[in-house]
Amino acid sequence: MTEETNDVVEQEKESAPNELDMLKERANIMGITFHPNIGVDKLKAKILEKTEPKVKSAITQDTLDEEIKTIAAAGVAYDGLIGSPESPAQRAARKRHEALRLVRVRVSDMNPINSNLKGALFSVGNSKLGMIKKFVPFNAENGWHVPNIILREMQSKKYMAHYEVRIGGKRVKRHKLIPQYAIEIMPPLTAKELDELKQRQIIAGN
């Protein structure tokens, strides 16, 4: 081994975190004061003594030694790792996925003037998603899967309901906005239910 190689090895030994350094780092985090020349065993005892009673039983000499080895091997600070922030592309993908996520619902139109309608066509969109269109039948026995963005649109819809009240023996007309759709959010179909639905659709198609 050359003299240059020996120098590199010595530098690596000096820069590698040792057990005492790890203990001092943890003691500083915990607010423990200690003499600069303190030994490994005494510093371990201080750390164990400082540990709260409810946690002390879980932190033993062996677990402390193991933790020190883990920290040293990882080469990271004791205060842990911080996750990387969400990128703009990831955020956009997450929002798109949430908007298009299918939800199984059963919908009824509460507006009396629409009592003869079998369903309604909904169109919702924005500059990032484009236009999302979906026909939703009313009172579907097995429910109907709609994109989450369509569900939110239906939940926001209201209609003007007219009614009468008696005031001083007279009928007085009143009106108020109420939700247009009664929406029952149903659990997703099971694999068996999906198979049965496919069979019914095949039969209906024939």
pLDDT of 78 higher than 90: no
Q: pLDDT tens digits, residue range 110-131?
A: 999 998 999 999 999 888 888 9
Q: pLDDT tens digits, residue range 184-205?
A: 999 987 888 777 877 877 776 6
Place of tokens 């899967």: 145
Angle, CA 193 vertex, CA 189 and CA 198 arms, to 5°: 110
Confidence of residue 157 (pLDDT cuts 50, 70, 90): very high
Separation CA 45–CA 64 (nearest Å): 10
**How many Å is the maximal CA-CA distance in the chain?**
111
Place of tokens 């819809």: 157
Q: pLDDT tens digits, residue range 30-77?
A: 678 888 888 888 877 877 776 544 444 444 555 555 555 554 544 444
Inter-residue contact 117 to 109 (CB < 8 Å): yes
Where in the chain are the domains? Answer: 3-74, 95-188
Neighbours of 122 (CB within 10 A): 18
Of 184, 201, 193, 179, nearest to 138 by C-alpha is 184
The pLDDT of residue 179 is 95
